[in-house]
Structure 1
Amino acid sequence: MPPEWAEHERTFISWPVKDSMVYPEDHKTVSEGYVELVKAIAEFEPVTVIVNEEEKEAVENLFSDQSNIEFLSIPHNDAWFRDNGPTFITNNDGEIAGVNWIFNAWGGKYSPWDLDDQVAPKVLEHHNIKRFDAPLVMEGGSIHVDGEGTLITTEECLLNPNRNPELTREQIEQYVKEYVNIEKIIWLNRGLSGDETDGHVDNIACFAEPGKIIMQVCDDPEDENYEITKENLEILMNETDAKGRSLEVIKIQQPPNTMFQESRLTLSYLNFYFVNGGIILPVFGGQAEETDRLAIEKLREVFPERRIRTIDGMAIIKEGGNVHCTTQQMPKVQATKSE
């Protein structure tokens, strides 16, 4: 599995389905957020929008003035392509394949999910890409890789009994190593407070490059995330990667605690997405203006060669995710073996 910053052939994203939304009355706002996101990604690379057939024409009309965007009709229940789409893997011969994980809607939280579980096979079939069916319930948002043999995840998610209750930790670890070809898993404890995915790592930490991890932190001892991020930081400071390197940890301050009704919104700058030559970063405005500024500053410092393209991170967050959760990269492959 190549790291996310490796060159992309394209980005996939699924269009939101009103009937499956937590707040269907927000469908217009969420759709506007998706329009902004798709257009932002298309500034850097081609985008394929997965859309239900009955909505295809209406969605296409939202992008009538855009190039670099195509539409693919595949029936789906929900919109989080990172989690129910394929995980792409490559080899040195310039071949690409896709891992088809079992999808159960984050531990059976949102029914139905039968169509979502068939999205990955249909995408791979459409593009005539070889498929490996993994006997493991897993979502793409629960893992990040460095491209050099190391994967980072959380125990809260991968070892959650609502995913693979019949498998031991060792069996889960072995399947992950087998299907994305990594040598070492770094296990963080928990994900962010309020995260209904049961602690997806893409909200809390990601690789910036091999040996270097960006992590969202909390400095307020009254906040639940204080203990969570402190624990995870200690793990990272004492870990090495698959090559035996100690890890450099770059900290990004979390946005202020934001509630909607009785629930905490999982606001995370770490839910950004690498695109060719850039980064799509959700920002939150309002009381988060200062932490927005700090996050932009930090990412510019870490990635001086990339354009930091911000988008409104509040548009879709009530539905439970953000930029990274909606997207999945297809890597560009080139043969590296000698002729």
Structure 2
Amino acid sequence: MKTMPPVRHSPTPAELGFRMPAEFAPHDACWMLWPQRPDNWRYGAKPAQAAFVAVASVIAESETVFVGVNDDQYENARHHLPAHVRVVELSSNDAWMRDVGPTFLTHPDGRLAMVDWEFNAWGGLDGGLYFPWDKDRRIRMKIAEILGIERFISPLVLEGGAIHVDGEGTLITTEECLLNSNRNPEWSKADMERLLSDFLGVSKVLWLPRGCHRDETDGHIDNLCCFIAPGEVALTWTDDESDPQHAISREAREILEQVTDAQGRRLKVHLLPQPGPLHIAETEASGVDRLSGSKPRRPGDRLAGSYVNFYIGNSVVVMPRLDPTHDDEARAILESLFPERRVIAIDAREILLGGGNIHCITQQQPRAIRATGRS
């Protein structure tokens, strides 16, 4: 095991007073990307594009939405997206803005900044999902230029879907992802905690062992569990003991109910039913191009469906509609958890077929609010 890199001479974001706010804090904007890869999205991504438009349209009711588009799809995206959604030319290898986009930070003086993590397409040449990922690696730098904000470059290979924070010092993640040998094999858990603290301003990291069953991201936390308020989390759950997801969720629940957060609180755990189980149909797999450099979509493969993969907007919660058996129950639970927001369900199977869901295709840009002191 290698040791940490030499101590940085420049101050860390945390030392400068920056921190990552919770998703449920106010936003100025949401960033997305436009799907088009025929080897990941069926039928030339046309069904997926319709789902992305639906997500962007709902979020744009209460915050600015930017959609980054490759040049050859710019006119098509502009035609389908509402006029108040801002379409910008921003080349990408695929459409997972949560993972390839920046993690935004705020400062008490009102400044906005970002963390530019390393990205290797969820594992690089050891289990990664596509090659190359050169355009994705430039997205964070480009957004920093567009917004004119400071960019802190981190040595960590990390995707945004691998972390959730409560905005009060606590971060939650999974060992399966952040400690995976295809991400950061040279650093220990303690090293990872120090780097997360340095770049995000957190003081406590809560580790769950595994993410959702068959999650191709190597266990992103945002498909399993998320903060919905300080001291409260939502966790995907199934009562079916024969389902591999049951053991994963039970293990996570036991840990979550025993730990305390950075403020010393015991967590309140809210359970969201698991949809399905869901699997890729023959007709769905047949519409995807087969290329050697990308993950195949095979009929019968299980999909890592989860209602936890929702987006918390300023006035809405945008959740995936995935299974008529459980959609209404999941929506009712979310409505009880977010009484001051409208919960809107979007048909999201097309997004799931590509390997993720609504949270995965979005990245919130927090509102940087200047702290006020007593005069």
TM-score (norm. length: structure 1): 0.96
Secondary structure of the residue that 1:289 maps to in structure 2? coil
Q: Which of residues 284, 306, 317 is equivalent to 1:279?
A: 317
Residue-by-residue CA offset, 1:174-204 (whole Å, 9 max, x unaligned) = 1111100000000001011110000000011
Residue-by-residue CA offset, 1:254-278 (whole Å, 9 max, x unaligned) = 1120111131111110000001111
Structure with the bigger percentage of helix: 1
Q: Is 2:109 aligned against 1:90?
A: no
Distance in 1 separating the partners of 2:76 and 2:337: 40
Q: Which of residues 78, 86, 95 is equivalent to 2:94?
A: 78
Distance in 1 separating the partners of 2:92 and 2:272: 34
Secondary structure of the residue that 1:162 maps to in structure 2? coil
Q: Is 2:309 aligned against 1:290?
A: no
Alignment of 1:104-253 (within 5 A): 104-108=120-124, 109=128, 110-253=130-273
Distance in 1 separating the partners of 2:132 and 2:106: 32
Alignment of 1:305-320 (within 5 A): 305-320=340-355
Counterpart for residue 308 of structure 2: 270
Query: Contact (CA 8 Å) 2:59, 2:316: kept in 1 or not?
Result: no
Distance in 2 separating the partners of 1:337 and 1:43: 29
Query: Contact (CA 8 Å) 1:48, 1:72: kept in 2 or not?
Result: yes
CA displacement at 1:302 relative to structure 2: 1.1
CA displacement at 1:17 relative to structure 2: 2.7
Secondary structure of the residue that 1:270 maps to in structure 2? coil
What residue identity is the alignment partner of 2:300?
A: E
Distance in 1 separating the partners of 2:254 and 2:262: 18
Q: 1:61 to 1:67 in 2, by over 3 A?
A: closer
What residue identity is the alignment partner of 1:176?
A: L
Q: Is 2:64 aligned against 1:46?
A: yes
Q: 1:74 to 1:26 in 2, by over 3 A?
A: closer
Query: Contact (CA 8 Å) 2:41, 2:48: kept in 1 or not?
Result: no
Residue-by-residue CA offset, 1:152-177 (whole Å, 9 max, x unaligned) = 00000000000011112211111111
Query: Contact (CA 8 Å) 1:17, 1:77: kept in 2 or not?
Result: no
> Any unmatched runs of 5+ in structure 2?
1-19, 281-298
CA displacement at 1:332 relative to structure 2: 1.0
Q: Is 2:122 aligned against 1:102?
A: no
**Range 165-174 or range 199-208, more displaced:** 165-174
Secondary structure of the residue that 1:324 maps to in structure 2? coil
CA displacement at 1:44 relative to structure 2: 2.2
Q: 1:23 to 1:313 in 2, by over 3 A?
A: closer
Residue-by-residue CA offset, 1:210-267 (whole Å, 9 max, x unaligned) = 1111111111111000110011011101100001111111111111201111311111
Distance in 2 separating the partners of 1:18 and 1:214: 32
Secondary structure of the residue that 1:215 maps to in structure 2? strand
Q: Is 2:50 aligned against 1:15?
A: no
What residue identity is the alignment partner of 1:289?
A: P
What residue identity is the alignment partner of 1:283?
A: R
Root-mean-square deviation over aligned CA pairs? 1.2
* Percent identity between the two aligned chains: 43
Distance in 2 separating the partners of 1:67 and 1:119: 23
**Range 243-252 or range 36-45, more displaced:** 36-45
Distance in 2 separating the partners of 1:333 and 1:74: 24
Alignment of 1:20-39 (within 5 A): 21-25=39-43, 27-39=45-57
CA displacement at 1:68 relative to structure 2: 2.5
Q: Which of residues 319, 323, 332 is equivalent to 2:367?
A: 332
Distance in 1 separating the partners of 2:325 and 2:300: 25
Distance in 2 separating the partners of 1:26 and 1:205: 32
CA displacement at 1:22 relative to structure 2: 2.2
> Any unmatched runs of 5+ in structure 1?
none
Q: Which of residues 84, 87, 91 is equivalent to 1:68?
A: 84
Residue-by-residue CA offset, 1:11-61 (whole Å, 9 max, x unaligned) = 000111325x42443511111111111112112221000011222122101
Give the total of aligned pairs: 333
Distance in 2 separating the partners of 1:126 and 1:217: 40
Secondary structure of the residue that 2:359 maps to in structure 1? helix
